[in-house]
């Protein structure tokens, strides 16, 4: 009977974000009714409505977190370049019962991909490289299955997952911690499914080649460039781009896995750090707030407006049926991939989005460029309700918070 009840509890979490809470279920209402009627709201009115929404949202996450019982989670919300909230729940380590704090460092997994185009973009702005340069220009020994594909593969293709290789080519070897140089050499054995640039198939190994390219140009490591060009200017003091970086952190949100008895702490793995642009960034929720501030205000951004536009321009269409989009429940009208970011188009707005999953860490990030509203969610365990939080937040945002006049 106990196992049945526990199982039902986790089943409820799968649908709990689809229905309002009430006294019968024991949950508080998620959001109050929209009573806003102004046609041309002022900034103060919009901010007031937004702050109320955030307050109700966070109180509801309190209840959802208590029900779901994942080890730890952190959320940052930023609007107009101002951090509205950095909030944490739970533990960084269930073994020691150490609580999470806003400086606890998580692995970002594939949310790391959003940093890479800014490193490449800085070099584009300086004229050292170009988006459509052949990869072969910087990595002379690189080889795909056909000579034609090898000669035609460009940096644009790496950044947009349009290499022509089958989806997740040799990600299984990254899971096995095989030597990245040997994995790259094996790419020539894989027949391409499409010509480069024609079709979206998500990759980690080839996305990681971006580090090899920028290192060949700058003669500095990719992690150094992250530090000097992004982390330092943004004041991201807990962030790093390597396995040693997270291991040397003063406060780590350790990963946890789930067994029959619940969640247990697992070990930090060096897996995927060999493809740093794909999954090698570590950061606290405080630093992710600073990253979002950098994206919104551009005050410390390292690239030009034209390069920023190229990064967030749709490069290749994606199917809205992708598993990444299931929580949007039919509201998504069009999806595409830019450089390191998914671009989601809805009836009322466009979002720049990405998610990540590695070594028991889960991460989600989204930015509405028009309203300048961003949210990041980090979790040190798989499962839970993380994939539904951003869709719910934005659906309620559209319902509850009017756009400021002129936006």
C-alpha 180/C-alpha 205 separation (Å) is 8
Per-residue confidence (pLDDT) for residue 51, from 0 to 100: 93
Q: Given a cut of 60, is residue 28 above it in pLDDT?
A: no
Question: Which segments of 69-179 does DSSP mark as H helices, in order?
Answer: 116-125, 135-138, 147-152, 155-160, 171-175
C-alpha 30/C-alpha 232 separation (Å) is 38
**What is the number of other CB atoms lying within 10 angstroms of the CB of residue 126?**
9
**Taking residues 290-294, what's their average pLDDT?**
96
* pLDDT band (50, 70, 90) for residue 20: very low
Q: What is the pLDDT of residues 389-407, one digit of tens each?
A: 999 899 889 888 888 765 5
Per-residue confidence (pLDDT) for residue 256, from 0 to 100: 97
The mean pLDDT value of the chain amounts to 90
Per-residue confidence (pLDDT) for residue 403, from 0 to 100: 83
* pLDDT band (50, 70, 90) for residue 9: very low
C-alpha 339/C-alpha 86 separation (Å) is 27
Q: What is the pLDDT of residues 186-217, one digit of tens each?
A: 999 999 999 999 999 999 999 999 999 999 99
Strands 373-379 and 262-265: unpaired
Q: Is 147 helix (H, G, I), strand (E, B) or coil?
A: helix
**Taking residues 30-38, what's their average pLDDT?**
52
Per-residue confidence (pLDDT) for residue 376, from 0 to 100: 98
Q: What is the pLDDT of residues 98-144, one digit of tens each?
A: 999 999 999 999 999 999 999 999 999 999 999 999 999 999 999 99
Q: State CA 117 to chain mean position distance.
A: 14
Q: Given a cut of 80, is residue 13 above it in pLDDT?
A: no
Output the pTM of the full model. 0.90
Q: Is 37 helix (H, G, I), strand (E, B) or coil?
A: coil
Per-residue confidence (pLDDT) for residue 99, from 0 to 100: 97
From the list 313, 252, 219, 280, the residue with the least C-alpha distance to 101 is 252
C-alpha 330/C-alpha 226 separation (Å) is 37
C-alpha 300/C-alpha 71 separation (Å) is 34
Q: Given a cut of 80, is residue 16 above it in pLDDT?
A: no
Annotate 284-317 with b (16+ C-beta within 10 A) or e (fewer). Answer: bbbbbbbbbbbbbeeeebbbeeebbebbbebbbe
Q: State CA 194 to chain mean position distance.
A: 27
**Taking residues 228-237, what's their average pLDDT?**
97
**Taking residues 232-241, what's their average pLDDT?**
97
Q: Given a cut of 60, is residue 11 above it in pLDDT?
A: no
Q: Which domains does the chain have, with CATH numbers?
A: 2-112+233-400 (3.40.710.10), 119-218 (no CATH)
Most confident of 13-27, 241-255, 324-338: 241-255
Per-residue confidence (pLDDT) for residue 35, from 0 to 100: 46
From the list 111, 104, 112, 103, the residue with the least C-alpha distance to 280 is 112
From the list 345, 401, 354, the residue with the least C-alpha distance to 373 is 401
Q: Are 105 and 238 a contacting pair, CB within 8 Å?
A: yes
Radius of gyration over every alpha carbon of the chain, rounded to an integer in angstroms? 21
**Paired tokens of 347:** 């009836």
Q: Given a cut of 90, is residue 268 above it in pLDDT?
A: yes
**Paired tokens of 184:** 């790259």
Q: Which residue carries 């707005």 as its tokens? A: 349
Helix then strand then coil, in percent of the chain rounded to 5, is 40, 20, 40
* pLDDT band (50, 70, 90) for residue 324: confident
**Taking residues 224-241, what's their average pLDDT?**
97
From the list 110, 94, 194, 199, the residue with the least C-alpha distance to 146 is 194
Annotate 357-366 with b (16+ C-beta within 10 A) or e (fewer). Answer: bbbbbbbbbb
Q: Given a cut of 80, is residue 4 above it in pLDDT?
A: no
* pLDDT band (50, 70, 90) for residue 21: very low
Q: Given a cut of 70, is residue 34 above it in pLDDT?
A: no
Per-residue confidence (pLDDT) for residue 2, from 0 to 100: 41
Q: Are 121 and 307 a contacting pair, CB within 8 Å?
A: yes
Strands 350-358 and 342-345: antiparallel
Q: What is the pLDDT of residues 295-313, one digit of tens each?
A: 999 777 889 999 999 999 9
**Taking residues 66-93, what's their average pLDDT?**
95
**Taking residues 337-346, what's their average pLDDT?**
97
Higher pLDDT, 34 or 97: 97
Query: Which residues, at least 6 apart from 392, have a Cβ–Cβ distance to it below 8 Å?
Result: 17, 30, 327
**Taking residues 8-14, what's their average pLDDT?**
38
C-alpha 102/C-alpha 239 separation (Å) is 13
Q: For the chain, what is the total number of helices (H) and then of strands (E)?
A: 16, 13
From the list 40, 16, 20, the residue with the least C-alpha distance to 30 is 20
Q: What is the pLDDT of residues 346-369, one digit of tens each?
A: 998 999 999 999 999 999 999 999
Q: Which residue carries 């642009």 as its tokens? A: 277
Query: Which residues, at least 6 apart from 37, have a Cβ–Cβ distance to it below 8 Å?
Result: none
């Amino acid at each position: 009977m106990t196992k049945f009840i526990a199982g039902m509890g986790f089943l409820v979490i799968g649908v709990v974000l689809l229905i309002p809470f009430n006294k019968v279920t024991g949950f508080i209402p998620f959001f109050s009714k929209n009573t806003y009627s102004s046609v041309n709201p002022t900034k103060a009115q919009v901010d007031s409505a937004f702050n109320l929404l955030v307050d109700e949202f966070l109180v509801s996450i309190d209840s959802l977190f208590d029900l779901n019982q994942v080890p730890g989670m952190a959320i940052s919300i930023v609007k107009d370049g101002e951090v509205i909230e950095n909030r944490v729940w739970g533990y960084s380590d269930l073994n020691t019962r150490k609580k999470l704090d806003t400086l606890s460092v998580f692995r970002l997994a594939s949310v790391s991909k959003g940093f890479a185009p800014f490193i490449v973009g800085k070099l584009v702005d300086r004229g050292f490289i170009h988006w459509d340069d052949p990869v072969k220009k910087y990595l002379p020994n690189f080889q795909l299955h056909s000579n034609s594909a090898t000669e035609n593969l460009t940096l644009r293709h790496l950044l947009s997952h349009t290499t022509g290789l089958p989806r997740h080519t040799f990600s299984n070897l990254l899971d096995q911690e095989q030597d990245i140089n040997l994995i790259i050499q094996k790419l020539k054995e894989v027949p391409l499914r499409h010509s480069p640039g024609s079709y979206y198939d998500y990759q980690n190994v080839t996305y990681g080649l971006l580090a090899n390219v920028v290192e060949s140009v700058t003669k500095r490591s990719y992690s150094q460039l992250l530090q000097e060009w992004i982390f330092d200017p943004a004041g991201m003091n807990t962030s790093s781009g390597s396995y040693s970086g997270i291991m040397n952190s003063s406060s780590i949100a350790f990963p946890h896995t789930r067994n029959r008895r619940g969640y247990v702490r697992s070990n930090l793995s060096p897996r995927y750090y060999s493809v740093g642009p794909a999954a090698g960034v570590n950061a606290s929720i405080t630093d992710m707030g600073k990253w979002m501030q950098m994206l919104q205000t551009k005050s410390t951004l390292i690239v030009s407006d034209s390069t920023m536009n190229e990064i967030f321009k749709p490069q290749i269409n994606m199917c809205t049926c992708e598993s990444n989009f299931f929580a949007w429940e039919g509201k998504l009208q069009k999806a595409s991939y830019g450089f390191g970011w998914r671009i989601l188009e809805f009836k009322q707005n466009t979002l720049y989005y990405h998610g990540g999953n590695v070594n028991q860490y889960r991460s989600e990030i989204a930015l509405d460029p028009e309203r300048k509203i961003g949210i990041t969610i980090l979790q040190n365990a798989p499962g839970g309700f993380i994939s539904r939080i951003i869709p719910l937040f934005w659906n309620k945002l559209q319902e509850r918070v009017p756009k400021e006049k002129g936006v």
